[in-house]
Structures are given as structure tokens and as C-alpha cells.
Amino acid sequence: MNTLNRFARALAGAGLLACALSFAADLPRAKPEQVGLSSERLARISALFRADVESKKIPGAVLLVARHGKVAHFEALGKQDPAGSAPMTRDSIFRIYSMTKPITSVAAMMLAEEGRISLGQPVSMYLPEFARMSVGIEKPDGDGKPTLESVPARRQMTIQDLLRHSSGLTYGFFGPGLVKKAYVDAGLSIGDPTNAEFSVAVAKLPLAYQPGTTWDYSHSTDVLGRLIEVVSGKTLYQFMRERILDPLGMRDTSFYVTEPARQARLAEPFADDRSLGVGATMNNPRSGGKWESGGGGMVGTAMDYARFLQMLLNRGSLDGKRYLGPRTVEYMTADHNGTSITPGPLYLPGPGYGFGLGVAVRRGAGESAAAGAAGDYYWGGAGGTYMWVDPKNDMFVVFMMQSPKQRVHYRALLRDMVYAAVLR
């Protein structure tokens, strides 16, 4: 890395620093067969996506497959924006939505390693608005219609609850229920709140479950982002840039895309494919804003995220710099549900998976309908992005697409086809 830094400084005097940074932020490349993958079988994936682009099933996509520390397959297909003519490129920028969560979770674990937080601490130690929470209970009224009553939370939510989605918080746009409707009606992100304002607003809403009892997808990681701000004394983005993004070379990962040159690389969905759920549509990151959603607000490129995943696969280090200790990464990617956390009605990790700190974790080779290996971990974004890391096979995959309608379809398909290309 010192050699790369000297190279960058030398080029800076010639006005070529951007080129040097691009070089430094890449991962090594290899032919598929050099890392035990089949070129022929990876080509099947490309052919499938070309056909789906041609039939206008999706505008385009970027797929990156890495094994043994080297990128073996990295391809961009289709259009970057279906309303224009620009092709998709390997450095196209995507809304990664909930793939923000693992980054925020790593930021929190950095603070835990430094002794600045402990996962068993109540969230209210840092965010007092969460000290006295209530849980919404649906009961029928005299006409048999459901009404919402509140009961006190039996215990406070902890930082671990935020990391594993057992806080009792929820999202409004996934699933039915009066508590979820209350989240939609509250319009939490309307008006572009700061993280502090968002935290206060969500703390006024009832919890969907008693803390520490149920896995329910939620605004937990948004609240975690605010907690990071309070503990670090910096905005979430400032902390991420200083500790994760800039050191890793994730130069295109941010909450907004305000620079014209970067805006020209922003991928878009079809006009009729922007819905993320009840009352939620794909945002426009070009305009900038105050809300830095730790649970779903970031944009980035496939290579940016690949560097982040390579760091995790390396058990916390990349290019000679350590970000987390190996045991911390092992702890994050262990199942934190166990027998004490009940899967909620919409258990997104799916059969065969528990949940760690920011990622779903596979318990065994079987049970799941999608191919994988025990110990692999994954997560995806509502806009169509997806990733998984497989320590057993020393491999990870990054898939970037902007199509909410097709996000579930391609996840299992990609797993089956990528594992079919693993030959040894």
C-alpha cells in the first residue's frame, strides 16, 4: 500500500491523482479457472442477463464474483438508465438501500472494540428518548374491528437488539398491522429530518413487539446510526468516511450524489418499477439532504462494496490495514437469534438462516431453497442490490441492479448459477 501511496503522490503533481486513486481502490484480478471457477458456467449468467435486458425485464446490472482474494468475474450489462442511451458500466452508482446496514453495523462494532459502547447497554444510555417505550397490542372493539392499545415495554431495547432487529421497532412498508400503519402515517422521513430528529420521532411510536423477543425488520439500524453520532461526536457520514469509506477506497459510497460527474453514473429503474413497499418509493439522491439513514440511505458501486466485503472475508483487514479484529468479525457473523428470538411473520433471512449483527447467517448447508454453505452471510437492498460472503469457499458476490420488482427473483437464481461455477 505504501508503494501505491507514493505512486499516487507522484501522479498528483502531473494532475493524475484521480487515476492513481482508481488504481489503488481496485482489487486484484484473476481468470476464473485460476481460482477454481468455470468461465463457461459464469458465461451462462451473462447470457441470461443479456436475454433479460433484451426482453426489458430489467434495464441492466453489474455482477462481481471474487474468490481467493481476486476478482474473477466483473461485468456490466444493459443500460444505466432505461430513459437514455448510456450503457451500464462497472462504475455505475446504485442506491444500495439496506446494504447500508452492514456498513453501519461495522461502524458500531468499531466503537465496541474501543470500549466506547457495549452491546448489552440500553439504547437509552445514549438516546434518552427510548427510555420509556410502549408496545402496541391489537384488540377488537365492540364491533369486532381491531384497535390499538399500548402496554409498557417489559425491558429496554439494547444495542445488540438494534444490531439484530430484536428491538421491537418495525418498518411501516413491510406487512399489515396497526403498528405498521402508525409508522406509515407518521411519515418519518418526510421533511428531510436529521438523524437526531428522526430518532426522536420514531421513539414516539409504539413498538411492534416486546424488546428481545422477535426478529422484525425495522428502523433499528437507523437508530443505531444516530447512536454512533452521539458516541463519536460526528455525523454518521463523517464517522464512516474517516473510519471505513476513505481508508477502504470506497470513493463512490455516500448518502447523496450531488456532484454532476457522479450524477451521470447513477443507475435508474424503469419508470413503473420504483415502488419499495407501502408508501415507499425509490428516492432521488441527487438533491442532497440532512437525513443520513444508517439503515438504507447509501449509494455506491460494485467495486466499492467488493472492497468492504473483502475486508470482512479477510476477517477485518485489507491492504495491510486492520478495521476490525478477527474475533469481532466472527462474532458479527454468528447467529444471534438462537432460541430466544422468535422469527416474525415476515422473516426475511428465510429458512436455514439466523441473523447476526447486520447480516443473515446460514446455519447449515441445507434447508434453504438457495445454494450456499454453512456460515455464509448475506443481505440485500430494496432497490435490487444483493451480496453474500462465503468464508468456507473463500468467495463473495456483489450484484447491483435497480429493479425492486425483480429483487427476489435474481437472488436465488444467482446463488444457484454461481455455485454451479465453483469447480474446486
pLDDT tens profile 183-199: 999 999 888 999 999 99
CA atoms within 13 A on the CB side of 43: 5
Are 136 and 207 spatial neighbours (Cβ–Cβ below 8 Å)?
Answer: yes
**Residue 25: what pLDDT?**
66
Residue type, 400: M
The answer to whether domain 23-99+251-420 has CATH 3.40.710.10 is yes
Cα radius of gyration rounded to whole Å, the chain: 21
| CA dist., res. 184 & res. 172, Å (int) | 5
Are 134 and 101 spatial neighbours (Cβ–Cβ below 8 Å)?
Answer: no
pLDDT tens profile 309-331: 999 999 999 999 999 999 999 99
Q: Is 22's pLDDT higher than 60? A: no
Cβ neighbours of 134 (radius 10 Å): 15
pLDDT tens profile 78-128: 999 999 999 999 999 999 999 999 999 999 999 999 999 999 999 999 999
Is the whole model's pTM more than 0.75, yes or no?
Answer: yes
| CA dist., res. 393 & res. 56, Å (int) | 34
Q: Given the DSSP bridges, would you call strands 353-355 and 360-362 parallel, antiparallel or unpaired?
A: antiparallel
Q: Which residues contact 412 (CB under 8 A, 6 or more apart)?
A: 369, 370
What is the rounded end-to-end Cα distance, in angstroms, of the chain?
31
Q: Given the DSSP bridges, would you call strands 275-277 and 386-390 parallel, antiparallel or unpaired?
A: unpaired
**Residue 243: what pLDDT?**
98
pLDDT tens profile 360-389: 999 998 899 999 999 999 999 999 999 999
The SS3 call for residue 15 is: coil
What are the residue boundaries of the structural domains of the chain, listed by start?
A: 23-99+251-420, 118-232
Least Cα distance to 221 among 112, 292, 295 occurs for 295
What's the grid cell of residue 350? 428465510
> What are the strands, taking DSSP E only, across 48-202?
60-67, 70-78, 94-97, 134-140, 146-152
CA atoms within 13 A on the CB side of 157: 38
Least Cα distance to 62 among 84, 42, 78, 44 occurs for 78
Residue type, 91: D
Average pLDDT over residues 256-267: 96
The b/e string for 216-231 (b: 16+ C-beta within 10 A; e otherwise) is bbbbbbbbbbbbbbeb
Least Cα distance to 362 among 349, 347, 344 occurs for 349
Least Cα distance to 67 among 302, 420, 396, 416 occurs for 396
Q: Given the DSSP bridges, would you call strands 214-215 and 342-343 parallel, antiparallel or unpaired?
A: parallel
pLDDT tens profile 336-362: 998 899 999 999 999 999 999 999 999
Are 92 and 50 spatial neighbours (Cβ–Cβ below 8 Å)?
Answer: no
- HEC string of 358-382? CCEEECCCCCCCCCCCCCCEEEECC
| CA dist., res. 112 & res. 106, Å (int) | 10
Cβ neighbours of 299 (radius 10 Å): 26
**DSSP string for residues in 261-311:** HHHTTB----TT--EEETTEE---GGG--S---TTT-EEE-HHHHHHHHHH
Maximum pairwise Cα distance, the chain: 78
**Residue 175: what pLDDT?**
82
Average pLDDT over residues 27-37: 98
The position carrying cell 392499545 is 149
| CA dist., res. 217 & res. 195, Å (int) | 19
